[in-house]
Structure formats: C-alpha cells, structure tokens
Amino acid sequence: MSKFKPLYEFTIPLVKAVKEETKSTNEDGAEVVTTQTVKKSVPQPLCLKKPTRSLENDSIIYYAAEVGKRISLGLLSAVQLDKRLKNDGGVLSNVESKTFDELLDTYWKKQEEFSILVVKTESERSEEENATLKTLGIEIAKLNNDIQVLQNKKNSLFDITAEAQARNLVIVWWLLALLYQKNDKGEWIPFFKGGNHQEREASLESLEDDDLEEEQSIFNSLAFAQAYKATALWYYRRPFNQEEFEKGLAELEKNSSLPDEEPEVVESND
C-alpha cells in the first residue's frame, strides 16, 4: 500500500465534550481526582490528499460526461457561445472594446517602466526614480482593476455554458474524493464515506442533516467551505505544497473571490 501523502493540511475547530481531571486535597490530606465533562473547542486536523493518476483519469471522464449532459439539456458550449457572440458583435460594446485594448496597452507600457526601475535597489535609484516607482505602482493597480471589471463582464456570460457548470461540479467531485480527516488514533481517514462518487455524495447529504448537533453542523459547514476554496485553488492553479496553498488562499481572502479563470474557447470546424 502506498504511503498517504497530504497535499494541503488545515484545521477546523470543533466544539466537543472532553473529560477534564481536577486534583485537590481533602481534609485528611489525601489527593482527590475529580473528573468532569466539559465542552471545549478542539482543532480538528483535515487535509486534501495528493491525487492519484486513476483519480485524474476518472475526473476527466466525469467532466466530459457532465458537459455532454448539459449540452443535451440545451445549454450552449463555450465554442457555440463564442461564435454567437462574435456574430452579434461580442460581449463588449465598440466603445468598451476600444477602452479595453487601450487599458491593456497602457498597462503593459507601465509594467515595462516599472520593471526597469524595480531591478535597482532603493539606494541605486534617484529620488525622482523612487517617486516614479511609487506612482507607477499606484497607476498599475488602478489599471489592473479597470481591466478586471471589463474582463469579468466578458467572462460572465461564459458562466452559463455547459463547460462552466461542469467545472463547478468537478471541483465538488474532487473535494469529495480528496478531503480527509484524522481520527482519534491519528490516522488519516476519508471525510466522506463511500467507494465512489455517488456514495460520497450521499455522505455529503448526511453531513447536512438537520438532526445533527449544532456544533457538528457548524464544523461540517466550515470544513466544507475551507476545503472547497482549497480544492478550487488547486483545480485552477495547481499549487504543489503547503506554502503555495497558503499563499494562494491568502490572495483569495484578500480579493474575496475564488480563482477567476478566463474560459478557454477552442475553435471548431463545425
């Protein structure tokens, strides 16, 4: 059996009943041990395990099947939507398209200026160059924000394509397969029970059961939310170690959004 390899580890607090011993001395001078059960917040270790090649192959099949299923239900593929938008003049108006191109052109010119100055140390730069570098940084950030607004508008329509919906589903597919937790023996065990996706989906539904204790329900929600962000990050950017995950998740926290990847449109001869 191959050794279990965590890809990303994290903890989620769980309020649980634990036994605590209190030592005291009675009137006769003898030591008395009192045991009582109290509720305490205990960090629970979880992780995403390193994917296997067989899981990679299964995910490709699952994604393709979900795309096909949604096309059969009437959703457009990314290629079909792209062609339709081109025939209609595109997502952006003529003015917006011109603005978008101008913003990109200015952005890369500013980046080039910034790159030339930033390679110098602060002591090597003149006061004027240091001031220019600071100004460029502010301007580049503003340009990046303006570009992102228009880019998001371009991408938003692709959120309703068969591929976009299948990508959302395959992220959950990966989460159900990769999320593990440590048991009381310190062993990594699957968070979701089951030997296949359907069984793990049923396990997920059981974790959302209204009959669960409030503490367990809160823990399940927090664990799923953190695991979803980490899985989405891995799916889009493929961080390869703990440091890369933490860095990427910190960026997501700062931007308050999941990775926003531009949809890939492959031209078709059909």
- pLDDT tens, residue by residue, 201-214: 999 988 877 677 88
Domain count, the chain: 2
Instruction: Please tell me whether residue 24 adopts helix, strand or coil conformation.
Output: strand
> How far is residue 88's CA from residue 44's CA, in Å, rounded to a whole number?
53
Q: Which of these three, 106, 125, 160, is where a domain ends?
A: 160
Q: Does any domain span residue 129?
A: yes
The mean-pLDDT minimum among 83-87, 144-148, 160-164, 203-207 falls in 83-87
pTM: 0.67
Q: Which of these three, 160, 179, 201, is where a domain ends?
A: 160
**Domain co-membership, 183 together with 142:** no
Domain holding 224, by residue range, is 167-257
Q: Does any domain span residue 38?
A: no
Tell which wins on pLDDT, 124 or 208. Answer: 124
The mean-pLDDT minimum among 9-18, 137-146, 156-165, 178-187 falls in 156-165
Instruction: Determine whether 209 is exposed, middle or buried from the number of CB atoms within 10 Å of its CB (0-12, 13-18, 19+).
Output: exposed
DSSP-derived pairing of the beta strands 188-190 and 31-49: unpaired
**Domain co-membership, 226 together with 144:** no
Query: Quick one: which of 49, 60, 63 has its CA closest to 169?
Result: 63
Give me the sign of the Cα torsion angle 252, 255, 257, 260. negative
Give the tens place of pLDDT for each residue, 217-232. Answer: 889 999 999 999 999 9
Pair 85, 44: CB distance under 8 Å: no
